[in-house]
Each structure stands twice: as structure tokens, then as C-alpha cells.
């Protein structure tokens, strides 16, 4: 991994670092990476506070990855005095994979997971991840499109996703139905082993993390991931032309890293 990012000085003092967590307390920590989510962040925080109030074993860590809008200001204002909902602030945008790996270094609860910071997948998935981790080292959220979702998803986007999944299966030997859903959970030792070996920081980090998990012989299972109705209509910032080419290059990089022994 690259060196740890600098902490924005105006958000130091409680927000810059996750408070140490006692592993004897048990529970799960949920990492939520965010970037320029000011428009929806208040609603997300309301949902997280409500969930944390009802589930005392859950902790939440927002990771602001170089946001340039009001995201950091909202976190600073809303998280004052919070104990089980905290944040890490990056000055510069370094990628979703970097943000999650940076948080993983600091977590101490027995279970950890990450989910998209705009709650594309509802918080009800947390209990399902916890349950699956009773018998697995890692859990993958796997999307299964309903007829409604297929109607609301562009054909090119569906086709590019299908092609990428086939490349992952053939090129890296990963048999999973969906590697890219922003919903994954781990037992803490598994998370430490995986993310300490991570080399990619962009969207293909999911594939690399699963590739590493397989090489380590970890037990991996899949659970259904349900995309929230509101998120289905949210426009994507990912280029449907450039991103597939970039991710194909990432797959080659993963294979090369493996040949060079970087995942040992």
C-alpha cells in the first residue's frame, strides 16, 4: 500500500482517527467510503444513527476520500459527540480501495465490512453479513437483477458488466457471480491479511481482494445484495467506455503481481 494519507488539519481532533475499539466487546465495524456525497449525506447519517441506536454492536466509520464539496463539513458538524459513528478524512482523492484499506488498518472489532457510502445497499444487509461470517472468512454481496432493474439499466452497462465478469472468471479463476457490488464483509484476521497485500486503489480493488482471499485459502461465500430503489435511478460517474479498458488492464496487473510474488 502507498503511505498513509495526510489528515486535513481543520478536521483533526476526534474525526481524523478512529477511536481504538476493544476486541472483547465483539460487534462489527462498517466502513463507508464517501466522495462528494453532500447532497445525500444527511439522509445517510440519519439512517446510520438510527441503526446504531438500535444495534449497539455496530460501529460505523465514514472515510471521506478527498471530497471537494461540503461532505467534510457535514461530517464535522454531525459527528460531534458521537461514539460509535466516526470518520477518517483524506485531503486528496486516492481511490475507493485505498480509503477502505486505510480504515481496515485501524479497526479492532472481530468482524468488519464495507458498503457504498450512499447506502446503495440497505443497512439490513449488515445482519446478513454477520450471520454469514459465522461459517465464512469473507462474504460477497451478489446482485441479481430483477426485471425492473434490467429495464432501468442501460444495455451497454449490463453487457460491459457481463463481459468483465467473464474476464474475471477466465483470467483470474474467480468463480463468483458478482465481484463488483460495494458490499463485502470479513472476519478481522482475514481483512488484515487481505488488505495488507492490496496493491490496487481504484474500482478493481474488489477483484484483487477476492483474488488474494482465494490465494490465502480463505472460505468465501455469497449472499444476495439488493440495490435500493432510489439508487437505481442515480446516474453513474463511471465512464462506460474508459472504465472497462482500465479494469481489463487492472486484471493483467493482478496476474502480473501474482507472478511476481507480491501477494505472498
Q: Is the pLDDT of residue 157 over 90?
A: no
Domain membership of residue 56 (yes or no) is: yes
Q: In the numeric block, which cell numbers belong to residue 106? A: 485501524
pTM of the complete model:
0.85
* Contact yes or no for 51/126 (Cβ under 8 A): yes
Indicate the number of domains in the chain. Answer: 1
pLDDT confidence of residue 2: 41
Residue 153 has a pLDDT of 54
Does residue 68 lie within any of the structural domains?
Answer: yes
In a domain, 1, yes or no: no
Kindly indicate the confidence band of residue 232, based on its pLDDT and cuts at 50, 70 and 90.
low
Residues in the chain: 264
**What residue has cell string 449497539?**
56
pLDDT at residue 90 tops 50: yes
Domain limits at 68?
9-259
Q: What pLDDT band is residue 229 in, cutting at 50, 70 and 90? A: confident
Residue 4 located in a structural domain: no
- Whether residue 3 lies inside any domain: the answer is no
Looking up residue 124, the CATH number of its domain turns out to be: 3.90.550.10
Question: Does residue 174 belong to any structural domain of this protein?
Answer: yes
Residue 94 within any structural domain of the chain: yes
Task: Say yes or no to pLDDT of 216 above 80.
Answer: yes
Residue 2: inside a domain, yes or no?
no
Tens digit of each residue's pLDDT (9 = 90 or more) over 205-215 = 999 999 999 99
- Each residue of 102-150: pLDDT tens digit? 999 999 999 999 999 999 999 999 999 999 999 999 999 998 754 545 5
Amino acid at each position: 500500500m502507498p503511505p498513509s494519507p495526510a489528515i486535513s488539519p481543520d478536521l483533526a481532533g476526534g474525526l481524523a482517527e478512529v477511536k481504538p475499539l476493544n476486541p472483547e466487546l465483539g460487534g462489527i465495524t462498517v466502513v463507508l467510503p464517501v466522495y462528494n456525497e453532500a447532497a445525500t449525506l444527511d439522509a445517510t447519517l440519519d439512517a446510520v444513527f438510527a441503526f446504531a441506536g438500535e444495534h449497539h454492536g455496530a460501529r460505523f466509520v465514514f472515510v471521506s476520500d478527498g471530497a471537494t464539496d461540503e461532505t467534510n463539513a457535514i461530517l464535522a458538524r454531525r459527528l460531534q459527540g458521537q461514539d460509535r459513528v466516526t470518520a477518517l478524512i483524506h485531503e486528496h482523492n486516492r481511490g475507493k480501495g485505498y480509503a477502505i484499506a486505510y480504515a481496515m488498518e485501524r479497526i479492532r472489532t472481530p468482524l468488519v465490512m464495507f458498503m457504498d457510502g450512499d447506502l446503495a445497499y440497505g443497512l439490513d444487509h449488515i445482519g446478513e453479513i454477520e450471520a454469514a461470517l459465522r461459517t465464512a472468512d469473507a462474504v460477497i454481496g451478489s446482485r441479481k437483477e430483477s426485471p425492473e432493474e434490467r429495464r432501468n439499466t442501460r444495455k451497454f452497462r449490463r453487457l460491459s458488466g457481463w463481459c468483465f465478469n467473464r474476464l474475471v472468471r477466465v483470467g483470474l479463476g474467480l468463480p463468483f457471480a458478482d465481484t463488483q457490488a460495494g458490499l463485502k464483509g470479513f472476519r478481522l484476521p482475514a481483512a488484515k491479511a487481505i488488505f495488507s497485500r492490496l496493491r490496487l486503489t481504484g474500482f478493481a480493488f474488489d477483484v484483487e481482494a477476492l483474488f488474494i482471499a482465494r490465494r490465502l485459502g480463505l472460505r468465501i461465500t455469497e449472499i444476495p445484495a439488493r440495490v435500493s430503489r432510489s439508487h437505481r435511478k442515480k446516474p453513474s460517474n463511471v465512464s462506460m467506455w474508459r472504465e472497462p479498458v482500465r479494469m481489463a488492464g487492472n486484471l493483467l496487473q493482478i496476474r502480473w503481481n501474482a507472478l511476481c510474488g507480491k501477494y505472498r
